[in-house]
């Protein structure tokens, strides 16, 4: 995943977008801290400990210089739109889509990307479905390999 992230950041920079890894892997203790600070999940934006994608090592919160606020407006920025368009070619999907909160259990997070590997990321993105919907339709699809 790191090599894919580095490659994506390099190409974005060549195109005038300076991406920043705001958050990556978190251990259970760190996730518990964020969860408790957010009010134990009352706001549907922080996963409980032992259920966060950040604890898997496959999640990346990506922002950009000049766009350092994690809010829905990031999705409309130059960096946010670039990521949505280009992330699949590096193996990432936008994880929590707009208008899918009732399915994912989380608010729209245009900065939160999940690594699935290039082939699966393309498949998921092309459907326009959130990951939960995709897995319901295609349960044979596997989570990414350990790379």
* Structural domains of the chain ordered from first start: 2-19+60-137 (3.30.1380.10)
Ranges 36-50, 61-75, 76-90, 101-115: which has the least confidence: 36-50
Would you call 132 a catalytic residue per the annotation? no
- Catalytic annotation, pick one of 53, 98, 109, 126: 109
CB atoms under 10 Å from CB of 141, counted, come to 14
Q: Is residue 141 over pLDDT 90?
A: no
Tokens 């044979």 found at:
140
Q: How far apart are the two ends of the chain, measured CA to CA in Å?
A: 6
CB atoms under 10 Å from CB of 66, counted, come to 10
Tokens 């009010």 found at:
39
pLDDT reported for residue 146? 44
Q: Is residue 40 over pLDDT 50?
A: yes
Beta partners for residue 62, in sequence order: 21
pLDDT category, 68, cuts 50, 70, 90? confident
> In whole angstroms, what is the distance from residue 125 CA to residue 105 CA?
19
Burial of 102 (0-12, 13-18, 19+ CB in 10 A): exposed
Percent of the chain whose predicted confidence (pLDDT) is above 90? 61
The mean pLDDT of 16-37, rounded to a whole number, is: 86
Q: 3-class DSSP state for residue 28? A: helix
How is residue 23 written in tokens? Answer: 């958050």
Which tops the pLDDT comparison, 44 or 75? Answer: 75
Q: Is residue 56 over pLDDT 60?
A: yes
> In whole angstroms, what is the distance from residue 21 CA to residue 136 CA?
30
């Amino acid at each position: 995943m790191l090599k894919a992230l580095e490659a994506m950041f390099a190409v974005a920079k060549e195109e005038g977008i300076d991406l920043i890894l705001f958050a990556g892997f978190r251990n259970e203790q760190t996730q518990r801290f964020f969860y408790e600070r957010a009010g134990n999940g009352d706001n549907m934006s922080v996963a409980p400990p032992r259920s966060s994608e950040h604890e898997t090592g496959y999640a990346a919160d990506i922002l950009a210089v000049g766009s350092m606020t994690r809010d829905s407006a990031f999705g409309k920025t130059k960096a946010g739109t670039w990521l949505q368009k280009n992330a699949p070619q590096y193996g990432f999907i936008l994880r929590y889509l707009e208008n899918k909160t009732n399915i994912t259990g989380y608010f729209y997070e245009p900065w939160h990307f999940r690594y699935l590997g290039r082939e699966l990321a393309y498949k998921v993105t092309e459907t326009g479905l959130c990951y939960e919907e995709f897995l319901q339709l295609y349960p044979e699809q596997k989570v990414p390999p350990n790379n």
